[in-house]
Amino acid sequence: MEILDERIITKAIVENFSKDFLDYTDCDVAIAGAGPSGAVAAYYLAKSGIKVIIYERKLSPGGGMWGGGMMFPYIVVQTEGKGILDEFDISYNEYQPGYYVASSIEATSTILSKCTKAGAKIFNTISIEDVVIRENDEIEGFVLSWSATGIAKLHVDPLVIKSKIVVDATGHDCEVCKIVCRKIGNKLNTSTGTVIGEKPMWADVAEKHVEDNTKEIYPNLFVTGMAANAVYGAPRMGPIFGGMLLSGKRVAELIIEKLK
């Protein structure tokens, strides 16, 4: 075997990352957050040939799905979401009629794998910290920074990418929607124009509302997953994930329609 040269390993990593990073400074869809809703959305978008990237704050994409319920590594999906488990080839058993149980590890890793293999790009350890809005009041991109700069409270200016559509898939915190309100006032497509805020746990109601709350909430900004319920003032649902999967699929459909 030839002697391994660490400089080649270094160059391989940095050149590949730089090439991808530069390529995605212009894209069709940029998603904040690689939880189940963001990753499912990216899968369906990539499958339709759309250039899509997810920026994920943490080291591990997957959001709140890895931990199942209270770190018992299982998730529940109801009848409506079962088709997406089948599409992703995630195994499950029917615990009681209409309650399907899957390993949270298999579900999360499979969704992430299928999402990237479909052609979606995921950059981890990068946080969205602002949006680009121009004269026409439409969002045109994301402002990003290494998550580590924020954690270390370093005073470092961010970088910018352009995207035709951006998606808030940041979960309970609905961070992109909050940024928009903070920066340009209460102009969201909610009854108050503001982020209304998540209501207490009520799985049945929360799951029934999440697909309907998946919308274009501001010109070129879509919201999906738990962020959609939080913005529109709907309840949380805990470790039942059908709504997250269906919301990810729904936002992809809405975006595909808009980009036509």
Q: State the residues that interact with ligand 48F by CB under 6 A.
A: 32-38, 55-58, 63-65, 127-128, 169-171, 173, 175, 225-227, 236-237, 239, 241, 244
Identity of the residue, 62 or 164, whose beta carbon is nearer to ligand 48F in the bound complex: 62
Shortest CB 230 distance to ligand 48F, Å? 9
Shortest CB 55 distance to ligand 48F, Å? 5
Identity of the residue, 62 or 260, whose beta carbon is nearer to ligand 48F in the bound complex: 62
Report which of 212, 227, 171 is spatially closest to residue 58, judged by C-alpha positions.
171
Sort 134 into a burial class: Cβ within 10 Å, 0-12 / 13-18 / 19+: exposed
Sign of CA pseudo-dihedral 221, 222, 227, 231 = positive
Identity of the residue, 35 or 141, whose beta carbon is nearer to ligand 48F in the bound complex: 35
Question: In a 3-state reduction of DSSP, which class is residue 96?
Answer: strand
Identity of the residue, 49 or 246, whose beta carbon is nearer to ligand 48F in the bound complex: 246
Q: Is 166 in contact with 30 (CB distance < 8 Å)? A: yes
Residues 6+ away with beta carbon under 8 Å from 58: 124, 125, 147
Identity of the residue, 175 or 260, whose beta carbon is nearer to ligand 48F in the bound complex: 175
What are the φ/ψ torsions at residue 148 (nearest 5 degrees)? -65, -30
Shortest CB 7 distance to ligand 48F, Å? 32
Shortest CB 229 distance to ligand 48F, Å? 8
Q: What is the CA radius of gyration of the chain?
A: 18
Shortest CB 2 distance to ligand 48F, Å? 40
Identity of the residue, 3 or 228, whose beta carbon is nearer to ligand 48F in the bound complex: 228
What is the signed CA dihedral for 48, 54, 60, 65, rounded to 10 degrees? -60
